[in-house]
Amino acid sequence: MQAINSTNKKEINIHVSYSEAHFIGEALSSYRLVMQKLYGVNSEEEKYIGELLHTIRNPSVKKRKHVNERDSLERGI
């Protein structure tokens, strides 16, 4: 997994495999349930976690030129 923080764009680019994205999604789902219990459904905190969860489940995939086949297998989603 590789994360790049672009502070000037206010975004974080995460390069992960499918299984890593799945684990991150599961953790966010659990955290979202906790936020719902603490702050209620449709709270600002719960909505923010929901947006992150949606982004993890529906990534924007950019085509990249790969140096070798191993790199393309590791980074392909």
pLDDT-derived band of residue 67, with 50, 70 and 90 as boundaries?
A: low
11-15 and 2-6: which strand pairing?
Answer: antiparallel
Query: If you average pLDDT over every residue of the chain, what do you get?
Result: 79
The ranges assigned to domains in the chain are 2-59
Helices (H), 13-77: 18-39, 44-57, 69-75
Give the single-character DSSP code of 60.
P
Q: pLDDT digits over 7-28, tens only?
A: 788 777 888 888 888 899 999 9
Is 62's pLDDT higher than 60? Answer: yes
- Using alpha carbons, select from 1, 5, 53 the residue that is nearest to residue 29: 53
Predicted local distance difference test score (pLDDT) of residue 31: 92
CA dist 63 and 76 (Å) reads 9
**Token digits for 56?**
């993890």
